[in-house]
Structure formats: C-alpha cells, structure tokens
A and B are shown apart, each in its own frame.
Chain A
C-alpha cells in the first residue's frame, strides 16, 4: 500500500464523492454516512503516511511516477517532503469536521454538498503531493470548480457575485503561472518541479517568472492588495466552504511560495524580498485595522485570516534579510519554520472559528455582531470553545497560534529590528479585534430574546470543536514533532533559496 499511498489519498475521496453523487439526495442518509466513512478512511490513511515518513531526509518520499504525457515529458509524479506532508495531513484532518458540520444543516441538494467536499479533498491532496508542475497546475485549477459550486449553490444572498469574483480572480492569477511553467518546460525539457529548481535562469527571466508566480500565489494567500475576493467569498460561503477556504486553500498560496518561488527563482526573490516583506507587513498591520471595524463575524475572521497569512509570507521571505544581517544560513530556517507552523496552526484555528460562527448562524441565521451579546449565559460550553479559539487566534502561549507567530517575529528580529517591531503589532491588533469580538458576542448581559432562547452545543458540534481544541493545544505545547518533520526540508529549502541560479 505504501507504494500508492498518495494516489489513494487523492483518488479515494474523489471516487467516494462520485459515489455520494450517484446515491443522490434520495439516499442521503446512506450518502452522509458514506461520506463520513470516506473522510475518516482518508484520515486513517495519513497514519501510515506519518508513521512511514522519515524525518532525516529532504528528499521526496512515498514517490510515485508514471508517464502521463510522454511527448511533453509530463509525469504523474507524486511525493511528499517535510513541507507538503503536514499540509496533506491537515487537509485530511479538516475535511472530517466539515462533513460532520454539514450533517443536518444542509437541506438543499445535500448529496452534491458532501460530494463536492470529498472531491475537493482529493484535489487539494493532489496539489500538495504533485512533484510534476503540470500535474500541480492540473489539480490547482480543477479545485476551483467544486469551490465555485459550493459558494454558488449553498452560499448567502450575494453568492453569485462572490463566487464569480472568486473564480475569475484566482483564474486570472493562475493562467500567468501556467505560461511561466510552459516557458520553463521548454527550457528544462521536463515538467518535473525538481528540474525547474535545477534550471539556470537569468535574472530577467527570473523576475518575469517571479511576477507570474506572485500573481498566482498572492491571489491565493491572499496578500494585500489582491485580497478583496476573500472577504466576499468567506461571507457568502456556507460554513464548510469557509472552513476549507481558510484552512486549506489559502495555504496553497503559501505552499506555492515555498515550493516554487523560493527554490525556482531565488535570485529574483533575493532582489524583490523587500517588496514581499512590505506587502506582508501591510497585510499584518493595515488588514488588522480593517478587521477591527467589521460588523460581520465572518468578515472579521476573513480579514484576520489575511493578516495571519501575512505572517506566513513574512516568514517565508525573511530568509535573505537574515542571511544578509547574520552572514550565515544557520538561522535562516527560522522564518520558514514559523511560516509552516503558522500555516498548519492557522488552518486549525481559522477553521475552528468559522465552525463556531457556523454554530451560531445555524441557530440565529445572523452573522452580525450586533445581533448577539451574552451568549455565554445560554451556551456556556460553546462560549468556552469560542474563547479558547479566540485566544489561540491572538497567539496566546500554549496554543498553536503562539508557536508560528513567535518563530516569525523572532526571525524578523534577526533580520531587522524594525521588521520585528512592525510584525509584533499583530499581537496587539489580533488581540484587539478577536477579544473585542468575543466580548461583544459572548460576554455581557443577554442582548435579546433570540439569544435567550439559544441552546448549547449538541453532541456533534461538541465533538468537532473538541477535537480541534485538542489539536490546537497539542500543537501549542508540543510543536516539536512538526518542527522535526520539517527540519531537513526547510534546511534544503534555505540552501536552495540562498544559492544563485544565474548562469555565468
């Protein structure tokens, strides 16, 4: 089974999704259980993945390779290293609560709903485990279709606007990446990402390719100023859609920077890292302020996501500044470590927060902060979880949110005092908007009759929030296994990013 583990992780959920689709809305009870079973089996497949993963090498593991399009040297190539493996596990992990969260709440075309999420899961696993650029692009774009349908069919009142904006924005970003990939294929004679990483490129070429990658990944992350699709998409998406969007899809942008930009065009990255750091800091500070004034809970969390992803891009592009100021590559991995931990952690926390909003929305059908107040009086259990995740979002030590932010801020200190001073503002701003949100929604006297009639979490909701809470705390107090798994790959990435590819 080890030989085809990654293929299974991709195709099993897709096949299961098709089965659920065929079962249809009439057999939805069976369909739901089948969807849940499929997502659990996929998660179970991560056990041999983690267990069999060697954290002593930066090489790709669980490698699969088959000819796909021989004439154009494109392979069905799969493999994971320390950077992609945690993201595959995160994808499998987050799909389970999404399936459970839609259990009763989705009454409109439920079979398609569960099928869409299962197919998404397979495609996202494909993105993270492709070692062939064409295959990567194939999954990267294919994923837009289920998400387009999820927002468009099960979304809120302005769903059509939001979903078309989402699709076109990401499509526009991606097509230039495709053009860059084809260009590199013609130079390298292969679509393998490893071949691209080894391909010598002049600075001019690197700058153009960097720009194409930036467009694709910055839209996905999203970075300021191409972030405007995200608040719309999040607000209109159903709870499950928001969770997957925040927890996994945004990570693809970050993953793209680590897998493509830094190793393939290191010289352009070195030259333009100031731009990237500036954009990241703008995301952290400016978007933090924007989050502060939101009236809509989902929008607030969406802006908070953009700010937190700013930490990720900051961490990723600190490499050069650290090398420049310390003269060695010894500490350069710290920012990347932080970026990776932040991605995993943000996946858990933002997913959990969107699920919390979903719990409230299911009961009150409102996302407006003003409609709430004093929820703790009627929903004490829920309040406990909400406060925990909110604190994790602010980066409280002991939660996973702390580890990533701390590593990145520490790394930025090594690069420049001013970077760290500005980046550290995130701690204050995040505390500001998140705790104020909690204060207005959860605490205080009961605001109105609707809140007075609220019922606390049911078993299903308790289960998913509980599991996520455990994960957030576990990663917070014991991040060592994750860091250890990543270490060789991060070191390898630092070496690649610090090298020069300009032909002499």
Chain B
C-alpha cells in the first residue's frame, strides 16, 4: 500500500461521504436508545447532523481542482462540492417541512431519518462517482433507500402499491444500466470513467452504441423522461407527501450527477450519439409532461407531470452536448429543486391530521384561509411557469441559450411553446387560490412558526435569485467550464 494512502489529508475531499456514513450509524443508535422514548428527537438530531455535515463539507471538500481518490473510483471537484452542499441543504429543508406531517400520520420514526441519510449518501456517491462500479453503487443505494421511504406508511395501500411499482420498474432500469455498463466494460476493458473517456475517443463501433442505448434508457428512467416516466406520477401520488417532497428534490441532484458523470464525462467520446438519442426523449418529455399535467385534478399528480416537463428541459440541456448546455442543466436542476422544495412544502403545510390537501380543489380560496401560504405558492407557481421576476425564468433562458448556441432551432421553438402550455396549469393553481372562494370549511393549515419561516425564506429565495441571478448563474457556469 503506498504511503500516500495512509495520509489522512488525502482523504479530506471524501469527508462528506465518510461523515454521512458515520452520521447514519449515530442516528440508528440514537433512535434505538433515545428516540423510542422521545419521538421527534431523532429528527432534531438529524437536522443538527446535516448542518454539521454542511459545515464539514465547506471545511474539507472545497477543492479548487479535480482530486481523484480510491484508485480512480472517486472524484472530488468544484462541481461535486456545490452539489453536495445543495444536497445537505435540500434534505435538511425537506425534513424540516416534513416533521409535522410525519407526526400527524404516526410515522415520525427514526428509520425515516436514517433512510433519508442513506439516500443522501447514495446521492453523494453518485456525485463523486468516477467508475462504473461507483456509479452503480450510488444508484442502488439511493434507489433502495427511496423504495423503502415510499412504503414507509405501512397502513397505506396506495403507498405500498406505489413502492412496488417503483421497485419493479426501478430494478428493470438498474438491470438496463448494468447491462449497458457491462458492454462498455467489455469493449474498453476498464471500469474507470476516465479510462472509458480515453478509450472511446477513437471512432466508435456498433457495440458501443448498443451499450450506450441501455445506459441512456437507464438514465432516462431515473430522471423520469418519457417514455420511461410511468413510475413517476404513481410514486408522487401514492407516497406520503413528505416522501414525495423527498423524491422530488434531492435525488434530482444525484441523477443530474449520474447523467453528467456517465454521459458527459465517461462517454464524452460518443456525445454525438447520446445527444441524438436524448433529443427525441426531451421533446416527448416536454410535450407529454406539459399536456398531461393539464388534465390532472390531483395536485401531486399535476406536480409529477410538471416534474416530467421540467426533466424535459434538463435533458434538453444535456442534448446540446456542450459544457454550456451542462451548466444550463445544472442551473435548471438546482433551481427546480429549490422550487420543488417550496411547492411540496406548501402541499405539506396545507394538509392536517386526517386530511390530505392533495386535490386541486383543496386550494380554492387558500388566500382567505392562509394569505402567506397562498402568496408563497403563487410565487412558486409563477416561477415554475418561467415568468420573471422569478428564478424559473432564468433557468428556461439558460436552456434556450444553450440550444441556440448549438443551432437547435426547432428545439427552441418546442421549448418555448411548451413553456406556454405549462403556464396554463400553474396559473390555474393561482386562480384557485386567489380568484375562487373556498367551497366548504376546509381544515386550517399548519401554523408552526419555524416551518413557515423556512417556507417564507424558500419563496423569497425564488424571488431574490430571480432579481439578482448573477451569483448562481456564475457559479454554475464556473464549476462546469
């Protein structure tokens, strides 16, 4: 074993993962000895651990250039640093929003937090993956944790059904991924993404395309791109809303990293091929997501199709096949996660014990019942629709810019047309909240101060980042150029 391996400083960049694995054990032990007697204390501890984790990440993982560790299977770079910080933040905010919801449904258990942390660890592994094995490890760790979370409410049949669907379809996708990876490994003789990138820079053959196809299908499945999106509405709808919030936010960061590390880095030599495969996927995703969302009466399903539509934009960023396109996709992902945290947070806060605010009509006249919640939701809806002065506008602008740079005229036209179609169903939510009167006495919304403050900050961030978009745009461009 070389000397440098013994030097702890070398591993500094991997502190987030090591810390998270330790934190996971701490949470499990804490739950076993303390959490059982004091429900909720595990949640507080988890939030604390996440904050410490973010602090440690800033301290140790803020690398200025690419660091490759563990025999080439792990990479730390500025991109990974940004994504990991975003991951900590997203999970922390998501868990904060979920607490009352879990309590009201008697599923405020320590395992929920343990699973969240292991999912986050999976995301981190994906973010820092630099070999096919690490990628697969991350994908499975994340997926298995999330399957369990979807089924977390044991009383709920719908949730069990959703988890089952997710598990079966997810396993098929994992199989696809493994199969594709095995072909690529067979052709290149290496598992390292760096090695594959070098090996595949030569003119490619049919075998590579075959392996690539399976990999693209798996990535599309994970992201929820049409026609591999079938699981997404059912999972979003069937899972407890707090889990929907989780599934809808942090894993997107991981799957963005999956696409980036695998396609944009490892398979960079065949960019033309996978970009050509992504174009029809993106177009279909945009159209199906936006059009089907219009027909929904359940807000969780509507937001699920809206997610699909947004995935379409993210895939378009990748389809441009340029560093600027990836940076646009990164920006879009981060912005989407911020907005998704907000709107699922609103759905959670609008629900009470024994009442799920999952139908669109439950939002009728929300303005009168809870002006602040309605205002936050309205801002988030306008932002998701891509209307300035909110941040969602810049996300769309960046994607369109990346498409123009690569001369994709028709993709530009489809993207802007579909954002108009999308505006309709977001406006409908605003209409329900502000223009309609509440039909009958709906239960009050959750009035816990801390959570509302967090949601307020979340909505305000959507506005502030919209008016002053430069720092985040700059950051996303810098880490990918």
Tell me the total A-B contact number using a CB cutoff of 8 A: 79
CB pair B405–A179 under 8 Å, yes or no, is no
The contact sample of 7 A-B pairs, CB cut-off 8 A, is A67-B470, A138-B389, A167-B423, A178-B397, A178-B400, A179-B416, A182-B404
CB pair B473 A164 closer than 8 Å: no
Establish whether residues B420 and A182, one from each chain, have CB atoms under 8 Å apart when the complex forms: no
A164 and B400 in contact (CB under 8 A), knowing A145-B382, A179-B416? no
Which residue of A70, A138, A160 contacts B388 across the interface (Cβ within 8 Å)?
A138
Interface residues, chain A, CB within 8 Å of chain B?
Answer: 67-72, 137-139, 141-142, 144-145, 148-149, 152-153, 159-160, 163-164, 167-168, 171-172, 175-176, 178-179, 182-183, 185-186
Given contacts A69-B474, A141-B393, A142-B387, 13 further A-B contacts (CB under 8 A): A70-B470, A138-B389, A142-B389, A152-B434, A159-B435, A160-B435, A164-B424, A167-B423, A168-B423, A171-B423, A175-B416, A178-B397, A185-B401
Q: Is B431's beta carbon under 8 Å from chain A?
A: yes
Are A149 and B420 in contact, with the CB atoms below 8 A?
Answer: no
Please state if A145 and B470 are interface contacts (CB–CB under 8 Å).
Answer: no
Please name all residues of chain A whose beta carbon is closer than 8 Å to the beta carbon of B401 when the two chains form the complex: 72, 182, 185-186
Given contacts A138-B388, A186-B404, contact A69 B434 (CB under 8 A): no
- 8 Å CB interface, B430-481 against A: 430-431, 434-435, 469-470, 473-474, 477
CA distance A168 to B294 in the complex (A): 14
Instruction: Indicate whether A148 sits within 8 Å of B427 (C-beta atoms), given known contacts A138-B388, A138-B389.
Output: yes
Q: Which residues of A contact B473 (CB under 8 A)?
A: 69, 71-72
Map CB proximity to A onto B20-51 as digits: 1 under 8 Å, 0 otherwise.
00000000000000000000000000000000
Nearest chain-A residue to B405 (Cβ)?
Answer: A186
A167 to B422, CA, bound (A): 12
Asked if A178 and B416 sit within 8 Å, CB to CB, the answer is yes
Inter-chain contact B427/A69, CB cutoff 8 Å: no
Partner of A71, one of B388, B413, B417, B474: B474
Contact among B388, B397, B477 with A142 in the assembled complex (CB-CB below 8 Å) = B388
Partner pick for A175 among B404, B419, B424, CB 8 A cutoff: B419
Report the bound CA distance from A11 to B412 in whole Å.
33
Q: A164-B424, A172-B420, A182-B397 are in contact. Are A68 and B435 (CB under 8 A)?
A: no
Shortest distance between the CB of B441 and any CB in chain A (Å): 20
**Complex: A144 Cα to B401 Cα, angstroms:** 23
Check if B470 sits within 8 Å of A69, measured CB to CB.
Answer: yes
- Main secondary structure, interface of A, reads helix
Taken together as a complex, chains A and B put the C-alpha atoms of A9 and B267 apart, in Å, by 53
Q: How far is the CA of A183 from the CA of B409 in the complex (A)?
A: 10
> How many Å from the CB of B460 to the closest CB on chain A?
12
CA distance A139 to B387 in the complex (A): 10
Question: In the complex, how many angstroms separate the beta carbon of A125 from the nearest chain B beta carbon?
Answer: 15
Instruction: Provide the bound-state CA to CA distance between A488 and B387, in Å.
Output: 35
Specify the chain B residue showing the minimal Cβ separation from A141: B388
Residues of A within 8 A of B387 (CB): 141-142, 144-145, 171
Closest Cβ–Cβ distance, residue A435 to chain B (whole Å)? 37
A149: which B residues are within 8 A, CB to CB?
Answer: 434
The docked-state distance in angstroms from the alpha carbon of A67 to that of B468 is: 11
Do A70 and B413 have beta carbons less than 8 Å apart?
Answer: no
Which chain B positions have C-beta within 8 A of A138?
Answer: 388-389, 393
A-contact 0/1 string along B356-397, CB 8 Å cutoff: 000000000000000000000000001000011100010001
What is the 8 Å Cβ interface bit string for chain B, positions 246-268, against chain A (1 contact, 0 not)? 00000000000000000000000
B412 contact set on A, CB distance < 8 A: 179
Report how far A152 CA is from B427 CA in the complex, Å: 11
Which residues in B have their C-beta under 8 angstroms from that of A168? Answer: 420, 423-424, 427
| A164 nearest in chain B by CB position | B427
Query: A163 vs B393: C-alpha distance in the bound complex, in angstroms?
Result: 21
Q: Which residues of A contact B423 (CB under 8 A)?
A: 167-168, 171
Q: Are B470 and A176 in contact (CB under 8 A)?
A: no
On whether A182 and B400 interact (CB within 8 A), knowing A167-B427, A171-B420, the answer reads yes
What is the CA–CA distance of A341 and B431 in the complex, to the nearest angstrom?
38
CB distance from A88 to the nearest CB of B (A): 20
Chain B positions within 8 Å of A172 at CB level: 417, 420
Hey, which chain A residues are within 8 Å of B416, CB to CB?
175-176, 178-179
Question: From residue 251 to 298 of chain B, which have CB atoms closer than 8 A to chain A?
Answer: none
Give Cα A167–Cα B417 distance, bound, in whole angstroms.
14
Q: How far is the CA of A475 from the CA of B202 in the complex (A)?
A: 74
Quick one: closest A residue to B432, CB to CB? A160
C-alpha gap A448/B223 in the complex (Å): 67
Interface string of B399-416 (1 = CB under 8 A from A): 011001100000011001
A163 to B413, CA, bound (A): 25
Q: How far is the CA of A186 from the CA of B417 in the complex (A)?
A: 21
